[in-house]
Amino acid sequence: MRIVHTARELRGLASRPSRRSGDRASRAVVMTMGALHEGHLALVRAAREAADEVVVTIFVNPLQFEDDEDLERYPRTLEADCALLEPLGVDVVFAPSLDEVYPGGPPVVTVHAGAIGDVLEGAHRPGHFDGVLTVVTKLLNLTQPDLAFFGQKDAQQVIAVRALVRDLSIATRIVPVPTVRDADGLALSSRNVFLSPVERTRALVLHRALQAADGAARAGRDLETVLAAGRHTLSEVPQVEVDYLAALDPVTAEELTPGYVGEAVVAVAAQVGATRLIDNVVTRIGPVLPEAPAEA
């Protein structure tokens, strides 16, 4: 495994030969901000299975943080991260400095997330998705991957990145990977380390609320009933300050309106102590579809 810190070093690395006879070598990228956990490693394993060469980027992107305090307290654990990545067969770790990614300071030209960046997570964190899409664009240009793997836990981010590559004609396929959870159901996040034991117990209500909403959806309930089921569960732990529980269109991230039928992402965000957590579940709203008859 090579660890490189500059774009010049990255460009100097030759792609691995293809494992598939007659095919060109393929490259996958997994973009992270470090402080790796099993959720990140699941992305790396999926990338390793799909591509001949795997590049993991580790860069704490200041453009997607709301304040300097949150940016400064984000854990930086490069040595430990690399120790986790090497046994997984990662070919390259690209860990650039701030000056390498943004030479001369904050970029003059950035990517605007449009309407996707104005709702839900974007409304609570103004400019967040502009920062995400700007650094994703830069890292896609630097790493030139065929595939890029993103965790479904950040559902709105997946929607935004898919819109980015579609609308700007970027030749990379975005591959979402299901959310990885601890045994108690809490979605893995680098921010979980900031939870006290009591706060962690309270945080489990997010997953229970999504399970309640998903259960109502699977029973064929309408959108209002699905959301009511999730909100009722959230109300059982009043110490958790809920920002939103909403159903999103899986392509546009727009909030769904009553009467909607089809696939949906039910997303939740809440403040647990000083830590903000997000989670989601992909489900289907509307009448239960009959099973197709078995073929004779």
- In this predicted structure, what is the pLDDT of residue 205? 98
Q: Is the pLDDT of residue 96 over 50?
A: yes
Asked whether the beta carbons of 263 and 136 are under 8 A apart, the reply is: no
* Cα distance between residue 42 and residue 52, in whole Å: 17
Long-range contacts of 196-199 (CB under 8 A, 24+ apart): 196/273, 199/272, 199/273, 199/275
pLDDT interval class at 71 (50, 70, 90)? confident
Which tops the pLDDT comparison, 22 or 290? 290
- In this predicted structure, what is the pLDDT of residue 191? 87
Task: Tell me the mean pLDDT in the region 43-66.
Answer: 95
- In this predicted structure, what is the pLDDT of residue 68? 78
* Cα distance between residue 99 and residue 95, in whole Å: 12
Catalytic machinery residues: 40
Task: Tell me the mean pLDDT in the region 95-102.
Answer: 96
- In this predicted structure, what is the pLDDT of residue 21? 46
Q: What is the pTM of this model?
A: 0.90
Q: Is the pLDDT of residue 278 over 90?
A: yes
Q: Is the pLDDT of residue 294 over 80?
A: no
- In this predicted structure, what is the pLDDT of residue 73? 82
Q: Is the pLDDT of residue 19 over 70?
A: no
Asked whether the beta carbons of 86 and 182 are under 8 A apart, the reply is: no
Is the sign of the CA dihedral 123, 125, 130, 132 positive or negative?
negative
Task: Tell me the mean pLDDT in the region 226-238.
Answer: 98
Task: Tell me the mean pLDDT in the region 104-118.
Answer: 95
Q: Which residues contact 295 (CB under 8 A, 6 or more apart)?
A: none
* Cα distance between residue 28 and residue 16, in whole Å: 12
